[in-house]
Amino acid sequence: MTTVSILGATGSVGRSTAAVLLENPDAFRVEAVVGGRDAEALAKTARALRARFAAVADPAAFGALRDALAGSGIEAAAGEAAVLEAAARPADLVVAAIVGTAGMRSTHVALQQGQAVALANKESLVCAGSAFMRDARRHGTRLLPMDSEHNAIFQALGSHTADDIETMVLTASGGPFRTWTAAEIANARPEQALAHPNWSMGAKITIDSASLMNKGLELIEAHHLFGVKAEALEVLVHPQSIVHGLVTFRDGSVTAGLAVPDMRVPIAHCLGYPARLSASTRRLDLTAIARLEFSAPDFARFPALRIAMDALAAGGTCPIVLNAANEIAVAAFLGGKLSFPGITDLVSRLLEAMGQAGERHAPGSVDEALALDDEARRRAAEHLASETSFSSRSVSMNIVPDASSFGEEEKIEAGLSSASTGR
């Protein structure tokens, strides 16, 4: 019996994790579940999974969580300390699936316990990759990649190490704007960017997939996870999302990880590891798919990918600035305060203003990374404020209040959840 905790249990990855656990009720016991602010959804998940402890990040949601859990015997708690307690409670495996740098501290706390961490929260590695990998080694923690591309590569790698690898390829579906012209992309609205062709995911990563920023963040994630140099990391656009990652070894052999685009596949791999679970996901039928296409990414229409690759190559604090500016910009885009190309513009402007990598080193600790993240967010918000004063005339307004809080993500996530669930 494996004991599991889920950070970000009410999100897209969290719900898919719950689905895999519920398919294997005899193999798992759930210790703790964490959500942002949707107490009802969290209580429902906690009850379904028979968790012992449920923590909601928003202190104002405590009463609702306590009421919703009344009579269940599940302990309710709220606030940041409660989230960290959930991450620290003894478990064999902690699923880190909070979105954004909001998940960095709790993921790190779980890692420090020395129990295995299944990592969906890529922003942790983007912002503090060196510190995370060092601390994982120090505490003997196994970091299992849950991100589909990294999970595929992890499986394709087998026992080989970075020395044997010539190149590592992450594939990208190309997102909803793969075939759009630059002029069309310039006028893209949030609902168009949220309509991902292959994956059903949370709002933030869906927007990142439309700009290809997600693939840039994933290159930085892969660099830290697998110890591969920036020059050896490549991106291929692959609209079918069947081949998720490929490794070319120095002897010319290529191994790849394939599966239907459904997060329950990498999730089941992480939950079962090193054994294999049974899962009822749709099976890969290559005859039905018939064609697998690959092409080079178009940096002209998707400049975010190039900017992220440059940030990876520059190192230092660049990846933190990139990520923080992107989180602010995506929230502004979803809130109707920024155009779609405005996301990448804000990121590159902030990198120009703050990204002198030579002057500041990559953070040596999570505290340092969070302080830099804070500063970058503040500066990004300032840039945004000065920008929206002129750009608001050209952007169609659809203002959602307080788009930068986690409540917004859940609101959009709720809107999305009626769409396809984890194809």
CB of 21 to ligand NAD, least distance (A): 15
- Tabulate helix, strand, coil % of the chain (nearest 5): 50, 15, 35
* Binding status of residue 8 toward ligand NAD by CB under 6 A: yes
Taking the least distance from each CB to Mg ion, the nearer of 147 and 413 is 147
Question: Is the Cβ–Cβ distance between 319 and 126 less than 8 Å?
Answer: yes
Q: Single out the residue of 4, 11, 145, 273 in contact with ligand NAD (rule: CB under 6 A).
A: 11
Site pattern 171..210 for ligand NAD (x: CB under 6 A): ----------------------------x-xx-xx-----
Nearest CA-CA partner of 407 in 340, 331, 336:
331
* Binding status of residue 12 toward ligand NAD by CB under 6 A: yes
Q: Single out the residue of 102, 225, 346, 384 in contact with ligand NAD (rule: CB under 6 A).
A: 102
216 binds, among ligand NAD, Mg ion, none (CB under 5 to 8 A by kind): none
Q: Single out the residue of 33, 49, 83, 247 in contact with ligand NAD (rule: CB under 6 A).
A: 83
* Binding status of residue 413 toward Mg ion by CB under 5 A: no
Stretch near ligand NAD under the rule CB under 6 A, chosen from 114-122, 185-193, 273-281, 311-319: 114-122
Size of the chain in residues: 423
Q: Single out the residue of 31, 345, 387, 413 in contact with ligand NAD (rule: CB under 6 A).
A: 413
403 binds, among ligand NAD, Mg ion, none (CB under 5 to 8 A by kind): none
Give Cα 242 distance to the centre of its chain.
19
> DSSP character for 364?
S
- In angstroms, the CA 229 to CA 166 distance is 10
What is residue 353's three-state secondary structure?
helix
CA terminus-to-terminus distance, the chain:
28
Stretch near ligand NAD under the rule CB under 6 A, chosen from 3-11, 162-170, 177-185, 355-363: 3-11
Closest chain position to Mg ion (CB): 147
CA distances (Å), origin 368, targets 131, 361, 412: 10, 11, 31
**Interface size with Mg ion, residues (CB under 5 A):** 3
Q: What is the CA radius of gyration of the chain?
A: 20
DSSP string, 22-81: HH-TTTEEEEEEEESS-HHHHHHHHHHHT-SEEEES-GGGHHHHHHHTTTTT-EEEESHH
Any idea which residue has 């899962």 for tokens? 279
* Binding status of residue 327 toward ligand NAD by CB under 6 A: no
Site pattern 137..156 for Mg ion (x: CB under 5 A): ----------xxx-------
Question: Is the Cβ–Cβ distance between 75 and 54 less than 8 Å?
Answer: yes
CA distances (Å), origin 274, targets 7, 85, 146, 155, 271: 21, 27, 14, 11, 9
* Binding status of residue 216 toward ligand NAD by CB under 6 A: no
CB of 200 to Mg ion, least distance (A): 13
11 binds, among ligand NAD, Mg ion, none (CB under 5 to 8 A by kind): ligand NAD
Taking the least distance from each CB to ligand NAD, the nearer of 99 and 117 is 99
315: left (phi over 0), alpha (psi -120 to 50) or beta: left
Nearest CA-CA partner of 253 in 125, 135, 167, 130:
167
* Binding status of residue 53 toward ligand NAD by CB under 6 A: no
128-167 residues in contact with ligand NAD (CB under 6 A) are 147
Q: What order of strands is seen across the sheet that includes strand 233-237?
A: 233-237, 165-172, 243-249, 254-258
Beta strands (DSSP E) in 238-309 are 243-249, 254-258
Taking the least distance from each CB to ligand NAD, the nearer of 213 and 309 is 213
Q: Single out the residue of 89, 105, 108, 122 in contact with ligand NAD (rule: CB under 6 A).
A: 122
Closest chain position to ligand NAD (CB): 11
Interaction site with ligand NAD (CB under 6 A): 8-14, 34-36, 57, 83, 97-99, 102, 120-123, 147, 199, 201-202, 204-205, 263, 406, 409-410, 413
Interaction site with Mg ion (CB under 5 A): 147-149
